[in-house]
Amino acid sequence: MSITYLKLAIPAALIGLLPATPAAADVSPFFFTTGTPDGKIATLSRTASPGKLETETADDFVTTHATDITSATFTGLIVDGATTADVSQVEIELYHVFPVDSVNPPDGRVKTRMNSPSDNNFAAADSLLGQLSFQTRVISSSFTAANSVVNGINAFPNQFTGGEGAVTGEEVQFNVTFTTPFVLGTDHVFFRPEVNLGSAGDFLWLSAPKPIVAPDTPFVGDLQTWTRTDGPGALAPDWSRIGTDITDQGPFNAAFSLTGTVVPEPSTWAMMLLGFGGLGYVAFRRTRGSGCSSGFSEEGGDRKKRAQKLRTLESISNRGSA
């Protein structure tokens, strides 16, 4: 193999790797789940609609690398006689942990904002805007949670209510696919789903085991569910802890899962290309050395030809002088 060929082949091979490297790395999956509902509590999480105040419940997860979130599930109760046919809207929002995206210091209307969701979301997807699609799956026609938080979401010092008692409804899992994935870095994030049932009823998000138990996805720093109302006279921008401030029965997690892909960092791509470049250089050096010693390289071949011509000329000259 000639040196000229190697000089062209090695850069061409490295360039060829550039578009292939991200595609190959995208196969690394991301999955997170808190597990199945434990029946301890169900908490209102609905969009605003005529005569109904928006009420939000949020629970947290972490990403340890750059991650694209492509789909999600969450499980709760549809109550007051509504059915899955009455669902007209699903909205998902993501929040950082306070004080990011927030006014700090806070206004003092709740016991604490430490480890709460931030004032404002940093990402959102709404089925009415075509930003997500969803399907529903009825898990049980009748499921009972031992306690509930629906209307009793109040500012300090009236935050404690003990909850509003047991609630029974249709247990439903929502399967959500995002039109455009949520793109996250290494982060600690709150996931907040809402369901619009209009006047037909409400959606209450069911709790999940805390701490999270393997083979589900336990993680260090797992926080708890928080809730708030949003609108005229509401608790927003503040949040209250469901298990610690409102019921004194927690803390709780909420039943949800997330699926996506781990995206390689630019530095990872660079290291991979440097590694391939190093291998190419080693191969080049070995081939060059082998070619020179065996006489198969262009430069080595030229030197042998010149030496042979000199020996021939010397032989002719010697015969002439003799």
With b for 16 or more beta-carbon neighbours within 10 A and e for fewer, the 71-84 pattern comes to: bbbbbbbbbeebee
Q: At what angle do helices 298-321 and 266-294 cross, to 10 degrees?
A: 20
Going from the first residue of the chain to its last (322 residues), give the mean pLDDT of each consecutive group of 10, the final group possibly shorter: 47 48 64 98 98 98 98 99 98 98 97 98 98 98 98 97 98 99 98 98 98 98 98 97 98 98 69 50 51 44 57 50 43
DSSP 168: E
Predicted confidence at residue 257, as pLDDT, reads: 99
Cis check: omega of the bond before 237, within 30 degrees of 0 = yes
Predicted confidence at residue 264, as pLDDT, reads: 85
Write out the two tokens for 80: 């007051």
Write out the two tokens for 96: 């950082």
Q: What is the DSSP string of 261-308?
A: EEPPPHHHHHHHHHHHHHHHHHHHHHHHHHHHHHT-SHHHHHHHHHHH
DSSP 246: I
- State pLDDT tens for residues 59-73: 999 999 999 999 999
With b for 16 or more beta-carbon neighbours within 10 A and e for fewer, the 30-61 pattern comes to: bebbbbebbbbbbbbbbbeeeebbbbbbbbbb
- State pLDDT tens for residues 186-203: 999 999 999 999 999 999
